[in-house]
Structure formats: structure tokens, C-alpha cells
């Protein structure tokens, strides 16, 4: 399966759609994935990168601004953000896709994305699932279950299904639709459903750091 890039068509800025032609020769490198604290600064945003002293100014983005208003709490001036984009030769980040924006969770200390291809979670009830080359691991709020081998299928509409072998008792569905957790208000770029022996658990998800097959 080829790597999947899921976007948010309704929120993409027109500038980003035409950016490759307009900004040709300005980029300092290929698209990067960056995470850190997104802060308000002088009417715009800067990203204080995780594990670094680097502070990266963002080029104005309607997409980032809209998600910030959606996910941040009243009076909040900084929020953990995981996104992709390109740096120009002036060191400014041109955002492409916001993968997650969270007021809750472990922020820069959360290493779940580093060891998984896909991550999904929900809060009512609490559950988490990690899909990696080693299989599907899930947590039900009390126990973490050993990895199970899965068969993965990508549907024509972009949805992804990972079903446990040989019985399909556990299935993880990921949909290319923006998702706001109803409990925390956190934003994710995927909607998720976990099926366990017929019980349906709803939540949100995001792409991990490991390459997809």
C-alpha cells in the first residue's frame, strides 16, 4: 500500500493550492513534519519545536487559524501541534496539513507517533490503538493487549481498515475526515472507529511517523 496523504479540502487555503508554482525556487527543502508548541505572536503564529530551541515563524494560513480557534481553550495562547509543511529560505514555515492540535495529552513527551504508522484514540470510554509493522495494539483504559496480526485494506473512498487475523474480532477503521474530540476539543485529521467483538468505539486518529507499506 502506498503512503496515504489525507487532507482537509474544505479548509485548504487557496494559496497552498497554487503555492508550488508561485514559490518555485524559494523552498529550502522538501516537506517536513514538525511538532511543538504553536504560539500566538504579533498577530500570527510561531512554532517552538519539540526537542529544540528553534522558534519557527509560520506564514499566515487560514487552515491553521481555523483549527486553532476550534481546538484551543478560552484564553489559551499556546497549543501542542503536529503538522507538515515546507521551510522557505527565510526560515518561515509554509503549513500544509495539520495532523493534530491538542490541549490535552502529553504534548512533546508523547512518543506514540514515532513508533506507529497510525494512532487512534477516544475518551468515552477511554481507548487507544496503535498500528505498526508489528501489528495492532490496543488499550482499553486498564489493559494493553498484545499486538495482533492484521490484514490492511484501503477502500476507494480513502478509508483504511485493519482487521485482526484470523477472526476479525478487532478492527480499526480510519476515515479521511477531520475530527474534533467531543470531550477534550482536540483536533485530529482522521476520524476513527474501533470494533471489538462487535462493540463500536468512536474516536479520532492521526498518521504516525513510521512509513506506511
Sequential pLDDT tens for the chain (213 residues): 333 333 332 222 222 222 222 233 344 457 899 999 999 988 899 999 999 999 999 999 999 999 999 999 888 889 999 999 999 999 999 999 999 999 987 788 888 778 899 999 998 899 999 999 999 999 999 999 999 999 999 999 999 999 999 999 999 999 999 999 998 999 999 999 999 999 999 999 999 988 765
| 178 in the same domain as 130 | yes
| 99 in the same domain as 18 | yes
Candidates 105, 146, 100; CA nearest to 123 is 105
Residue 118 counted as domain residue: yes
| 165 in the same domain as 85 | no
Structural domains in the chain (count): 2
Domain final position from 107, 131, 162: 107
| 184 in the same domain as 138 | yes
| 144 in the same domain as 92 | no
Domain final position from 73, 107, 141: 107
At residue 111, the pLDDT reads 80
Residue 4 counted as domain residue: no
Domain final position from 107, 126, 144: 107
At residue 146, the pLDDT reads 95
Cα distance between residue 16 and residue 190, in whole Å: 20
| 89 in the same domain as 35 | yes
| 13 in the same domain as 28 | yes
Going through the chain in order, the beta strands assigned E by DSSP cover 32-41, 44-49, 55-57, 78-87, 93-102, 118-123, 126-132, 135-139, 144-148, 150-154, 160-164, 170-175, 179-180, 187-188, 190-196, 199-207
List the domain range (segments joined by +) for residue 79: 9-107
pTM of model > 0.85: no
| 136 in the same domain as 121 | yes
| 37 in the same domain as 115 | no
CATH number of the domain that 24 lies in? Answer: 2.40.50
Amino acid at each position: 500500500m502506498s503512503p496515504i496523504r489525507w487532507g482537509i479540502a474544505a479548509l485548504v487555503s487557496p494559496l497552498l493550492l497554487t503555492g508550488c508554482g508561485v514559490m518555485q525556487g524559494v523552498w529550502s527543502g522538501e516537506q517536513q513534519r514538525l511538532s511543538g508548541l504553536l504560539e500566538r505572536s504579533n498577530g500570527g503564529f510561531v512554532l517552538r519545536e519539540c526537542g529544540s530551541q528553534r522558534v519557527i515563524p509560520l506564514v499566515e494560513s487560514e487552515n491553521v487559524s481555523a483549527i486553532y480557534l476550534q481546538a484551543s481553550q478560552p484564553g489559551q495562547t499556546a497549543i501542542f501541534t503536529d503538522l507538515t509543511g515546507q521551510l522557505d529560505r527565510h526560515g518561515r514555515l509554509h503549513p500544509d496539513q495539520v495532523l493534530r492540535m491538542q490541549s490535552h495529552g502529553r504534548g512533546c513527551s508523547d512518543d506514540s507517533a514515532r513508533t506507529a504508522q497510525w494512532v487512534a484514540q477516544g475518551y468515552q470510554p477511554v481507548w487507544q490503538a496503535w498500528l505498526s509493522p508489528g501489528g495492532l495494539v490496543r488499550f482499553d483504559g486498564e489493559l494493553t493487549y498484545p499486538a495482533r496480526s492484521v490484514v490492511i485494506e484501503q477502500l476507494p473512498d480513502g478509508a483504511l481498515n485493519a482487521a485482526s487475523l484470523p477472526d476479525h474480532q478487532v478492527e480499526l477503521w480510519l476515515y479521511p475526515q477531520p475530527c474534533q474530540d467531543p470531550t477534550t476539543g482536540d483536533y485530529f485529521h482522521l476520524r476513527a472507529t474501533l470494533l471489538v467483538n462487535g462493540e463500536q468505539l468512536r474516536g479520532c486518529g492521526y498518521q504516525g511517523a513510521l512509513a506506511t507499506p
